[in-house]
Amino acid sequence: MSEAQERAWSELAPAYVIEAPRDIASTSIRPGSAIDPVEVWGREAPLIVEIGSGQGHAVVHAASSRPADDFLAIEVFRAGLARTMLDADRAGARNLRLVEANAPEVLEHLLPAASVAELWVFFPDPWHKKKHTKRRLVTADFALIAGGALRDGGMLRFATDWEDYALQMREVMSAASDFEPAFEGQWAPRFDGRVLTAFERKGARVGREIRDLAYRRATRT
Protein backbone atom coordinates (compact mmCIF):
# COMPACT_ATOMS: atom_id res chain seq x y z
CA MET A 1 0.00 0.00 0.00
CA SER A 2 1.03 3.60 -0.45
CA GLU A 3 2.01 5.70 2.53
CA ALA A 4 -1.41 7.40 2.47
CA GLN A 5 -3.16 4.03 2.38
CA GLU A 6 -1.05 2.71 5.27
CA ARG A 7 -1.96 5.82 7.27
CA ALA A 8 -5.64 5.42 6.38
CA TRP A 9 -5.61 1.83 7.56
CA SER A 10 -3.99 2.79 10.84
CA GLU A 11 -6.23 5.78 11.54
CA LEU A 12 -9.58 4.78 10.02
CA ALA A 13 -9.80 0.99 10.33
CA PRO A 14 -11.04 1.13 13.96
CA ALA A 15 -14.12 3.06 12.78
CA TYR A 16 -14.79 1.20 9.53
CA VAL A 17 -13.31 -2.31 9.51
CA ILE A 18 -15.06 -5.30 11.05
CA GLU A 19 -12.42 -7.53 12.61
CA ALA A 20 -13.61 -11.09 12.07
CA PRO A 21 -12.27 -14.27 13.66
CA ARG A 22 -10.21 -16.12 11.05
CA ASP A 23 -10.10 -19.74 10.06
CA ILE A 24 -7.02 -21.16 8.31
CA ALA A 25 -6.43 -18.44 5.70
CA SER A 26 -5.90 -14.74 6.42
CA THR A 27 -9.06 -13.84 4.49
CA SER A 28 -11.22 -16.67 5.82
CA ILE A 29 -14.01 -16.42 8.40
CA ARG A 30 -14.28 -18.86 11.25
CA PRO A 31 -17.64 -20.67 11.29
CA GLY A 32 -19.87 -19.52 14.12
CA SER A 33 -18.58 -15.92 14.03
CA ALA A 34 -21.84 -14.14 13.21
CA ILE A 35 -22.04 -10.46 14.10
CA ASP A 36 -25.07 -8.53 15.31
CA PRO A 37 -25.74 -5.84 12.66
CA VAL A 38 -27.64 -3.67 15.14
CA GLU A 39 -24.61 -3.68 17.42
CA VAL A 40 -22.13 -3.03 14.58
CA TRP A 41 -24.05 -0.18 12.93
CA GLY A 42 -25.76 1.06 16.08
CA ARG A 43 -29.29 0.89 14.66
CA GLU A 44 -31.82 -1.20 12.77
CA ALA A 45 -31.73 -0.37 9.05
CA PRO A 46 -31.73 -2.20 5.70
CA LEU A 47 -28.30 -3.74 5.07
CA ILE A 48 -26.81 -3.54 1.57
CA VAL A 49 -23.72 -5.65 0.87
CA GLU A 50 -21.32 -5.22 -2.03
CA ILE A 51 -19.06 -8.12 -2.95
CA GLY A 52 -15.73 -7.18 -4.53
CA SER A 53 -15.98 -3.49 -3.75
CA GLY A 54 -12.55 -2.73 -5.26
CA GLN A 55 -11.55 0.84 -4.46
CA GLY A 56 -15.04 1.55 -3.19
CA HIS A 57 -16.36 3.97 -5.81
CA ALA A 58 -19.81 2.37 -6.02
CA VAL A 59 -20.33 1.62 -2.34
CA VAL A 60 -19.07 4.99 -1.05
CA HIS A 61 -21.33 6.82 -3.47
CA ALA A 62 -24.28 4.66 -2.44
CA ALA A 63 -23.61 4.96 1.30
CA SER A 64 -23.20 8.73 1.17
CA SER A 65 -26.38 9.18 -0.88
CA ARG A 66 -28.51 6.72 1.13
CA PRO A 67 -27.90 7.63 4.79
CA ALA A 68 -30.98 5.73 5.98
CA ASP A 69 -29.42 2.41 4.88
CA ASP A 70 -26.41 0.50 6.19
CA PHE A 71 -23.67 -0.74 3.86
CA LEU A 72 -21.00 -3.42 4.00
CA ALA A 73 -18.12 -3.63 1.50
CA ILE A 74 -16.41 -7.00 1.11
CA GLU A 75 -12.96 -7.04 -0.49
CA VAL A 76 -9.80 -9.15 -0.20
CA PHE A 77 -7.33 -6.46 -1.31
CA ARG A 78 -6.32 -4.24 1.59
CA ALA A 79 -5.18 -1.36 -0.61
CA GLY A 80 -8.68 -1.11 -2.08
CA LEU A 81 -10.21 -1.09 1.38
CA ALA A 82 -7.81 1.66 2.47
CA ARG A 83 -8.84 3.80 -0.50
CA THR A 84 -12.47 3.08 0.31
CA MET A 85 -12.02 4.33 3.87
CA LEU A 86 -10.30 7.51 2.71
CA ASP A 87 -13.16 8.34 0.34
CA ALA A 88 -15.81 7.31 2.88
CA ASP A 89 -14.27 9.55 5.51
CA ARG A 90 -14.21 12.51 3.12
CA ALA A 91 -17.84 11.84 2.13
CA GLY A 92 -18.97 11.41 5.75
CA ALA A 93 -20.31 7.91 5.04
CA ARG A 94 -20.58 6.75 8.64
CA ASN A 95 -23.09 4.07 7.65
CA LEU A 96 -20.41 2.05 5.83
CA ARG A 97 -18.39 -0.83 7.21
CA LEU A 98 -15.74 -2.97 5.53
CA VAL A 99 -14.50 -6.50 5.92
CA GLU A 100 -11.32 -7.98 4.46
CA ALA A 101 -12.43 -11.51 3.65
CA ASN A 102 -13.67 -14.04 1.12
CA ALA A 103 -17.22 -13.06 0.24
CA PRO A 104 -18.93 -16.48 0.45
CA GLU A 105 -17.56 -16.97 3.96
CA VAL A 106 -18.81 -13.53 5.02
CA LEU A 107 -22.30 -14.40 3.78
CA GLU A 108 -22.25 -17.84 5.33
CA HIS A 109 -20.46 -17.29 8.64
CA LEU A 110 -20.26 -13.57 9.53
CA LEU A 111 -23.71 -12.25 8.62
CA PRO A 112 -26.80 -13.69 10.30
CA ALA A 113 -29.18 -15.64 8.07
CA ALA A 114 -31.78 -13.52 6.28
CA SER A 115 -30.12 -10.26 7.41
CA VAL A 116 -29.29 -8.71 4.01
CA ALA A 117 -31.73 -6.49 2.09
CA GLU A 118 -29.64 -6.21 -1.08
CA LEU A 119 -26.55 -8.03 -2.33
CA TRP A 120 -24.50 -6.46 -5.12
CA VAL A 121 -21.97 -8.20 -7.36
CA PHE A 122 -20.77 -5.59 -9.82
CA PHE A 123 -18.14 -6.55 -12.40
CA PRO A 124 -16.68 -9.59 -10.65
CA ASP A 125 -13.43 -11.00 -12.01
CA PRO A 126 -14.51 -12.77 -15.23
CA TRP A 127 -11.61 -15.23 -15.23
CA HIS A 128 -12.01 -15.11 -18.99
CA LYS A 129 -9.46 -17.79 -19.87
CA LYS A 130 -11.22 -21.12 -20.33
CA LYS A 131 -8.93 -22.91 -17.88
CA HIS A 132 -9.78 -20.32 -15.19
CA THR A 133 -13.57 -20.06 -15.50
CA LYS A 134 -14.00 -22.54 -12.64
CA ARG A 135 -12.73 -19.77 -10.33
CA ARG A 136 -15.71 -17.52 -11.05
CA LEU A 137 -17.75 -16.44 -8.07
CA VAL A 138 -21.25 -16.98 -9.43
CA THR A 139 -21.98 -20.70 -9.19
CA ALA A 140 -24.79 -22.84 -7.85
CA ASP A 141 -23.03 -22.94 -4.46
CA PHE A 142 -22.86 -19.16 -4.38
CA ALA A 143 -26.56 -18.85 -5.21
CA LEU A 144 -27.36 -21.15 -2.29
CA ILE A 145 -25.21 -19.11 0.12
CA ALA A 146 -26.65 -15.83 -1.15
CA GLY A 147 -30.16 -17.19 -0.67
CA GLY A 148 -29.36 -17.91 2.95
CA ALA A 149 -28.02 -14.41 3.63
CA LEU A 150 -30.81 -12.45 1.92
CA ARG A 151 -34.09 -11.75 3.64
CA ASP A 152 -37.36 -12.69 1.94
CA GLY A 153 -37.91 -10.29 -0.95
CA GLY A 154 -34.27 -9.17 -0.84
CA MET A 155 -32.51 -8.28 -4.09
CA LEU A 156 -29.47 -9.89 -5.66
CA ARG A 157 -28.00 -7.63 -8.36
CA PHE A 158 -25.27 -8.41 -10.89
CA ALA A 159 -23.48 -6.39 -13.54
CA THR A 160 -20.80 -7.61 -15.93
CA ASP A 161 -19.21 -6.60 -19.20
CA TRP A 162 -18.33 -10.19 -20.18
CA GLU A 163 -21.08 -11.80 -22.26
CA ASP A 164 -20.27 -15.41 -21.43
CA TYR A 165 -20.19 -14.61 -17.71
CA ALA A 166 -23.57 -12.88 -18.01
CA LEU A 167 -24.93 -16.02 -19.67
CA GLN A 168 -23.44 -18.16 -16.91
CA MET A 169 -25.00 -15.93 -14.25
CA ARG A 170 -28.38 -16.20 -15.90
CA GLU A 171 -28.10 -19.98 -16.19
CA VAL A 172 -27.07 -20.36 -12.55
CA MET A 173 -29.82 -18.10 -11.25
CA SER A 174 -32.51 -19.67 -13.44
CA ALA A 175 -31.80 -22.96 -11.70
CA ALA A 176 -31.69 -21.46 -8.19
CA SER A 177 -34.92 -22.33 -6.40
CA ASP A 178 -34.44 -19.58 -3.78
CA PHE A 179 -34.74 -16.83 -6.41
CA GLU A 180 -37.08 -15.46 -9.02
CA PRO A 181 -36.33 -12.88 -11.75
CA ALA A 182 -37.04 -9.32 -10.64
CA PHE A 183 -37.73 -8.17 -14.22
CA GLU A 184 -39.18 -9.68 -17.35
CA GLY A 185 -36.92 -10.27 -20.33
CA GLN A 186 -33.42 -11.62 -20.70
CA TRP A 187 -31.67 -8.80 -18.84
CA ALA A 188 -32.56 -6.29 -16.15
CA PRO A 189 -32.46 -2.56 -16.84
CA ARG A 190 -29.33 -0.79 -15.65
CA PHE A 191 -29.51 -0.39 -11.88
CA ASP A 192 -29.70 3.35 -11.32
CA GLY A 193 -28.18 2.92 -7.86
CA ARG A 194 -24.87 1.92 -9.43
CA VAL A 195 -22.61 4.90 -10.02
CA LEU A 196 -20.92 4.96 -13.42
CA THR A 197 -17.29 4.14 -12.70
CA ALA A 198 -14.15 4.44 -14.82
CA PHE A 199 -14.09 0.64 -14.99
CA GLU A 200 -17.55 0.53 -16.57
CA ARG A 201 -16.67 3.34 -18.97
CA LYS A 202 -13.57 1.43 -20.05
CA GLY A 203 -15.58 -1.71 -20.81
CA ALA A 204 -18.07 0.25 -22.88
CA ARG A 205 -15.28 2.11 -24.68
CA VAL A 206 -13.69 -1.12 -25.94
CA GLY A 207 -17.08 -2.38 -27.14
CA ARG A 208 -18.14 -4.70 -24.35
CA GLU A 209 -21.86 -4.48 -23.62
CA ILE A 210 -22.75 -3.95 -19.96
CA ARG A 211 -25.42 -6.37 -18.77
CA ASP A 212 -27.40 -6.17 -15.54
CA LEU A 213 -29.27 -9.05 -13.90
CA ALA A 214 -31.54 -8.81 -10.86
CA TYR A 215 -33.22 -11.51 -8.80
CA ARG A 216 -35.55 -11.44 -5.83
CA ARG A 217 -35.21 -13.79 -2.89
CA ALA A 218 -38.32 -15.97 -2.79
CA THR A 219 -40.39 -16.16 0.38
CA ARG A 220 -39.27 -18.96 2.67
CA THR A 221 -41.85 -21.67 3.29
Say which of 125, 141, 152, 164 is annotated catalytic.
Answer: 125
Burial group, residue 150, by CB count within 10 angstroms (0-12, 13-18, 19+): buried
* Nearest C-alpha neighbor of 122 from the set 87, 88, 74: 74
User: Is residue 179 within 8 Å of residue 215, measured between CB atoms?
Assistant: yes
125 carries an active-site annotation: yes
User: Is residue 53 within 8 Å of residue 74, measured between CB atoms?
Assistant: yes
Q: Are strands 47-51 and 70-75 parallel, antiparallel or unpaired?
A: parallel
Q: What are phi and psi of 68, to 5 degrees?
A: -80, -10
In this structure, the dihedral spanned by the alpha carbons of residues 130, 135, 218 and 175, taken in order and rounded to 10 degrees, is: 40
The residues assigned a catalytic role are 125
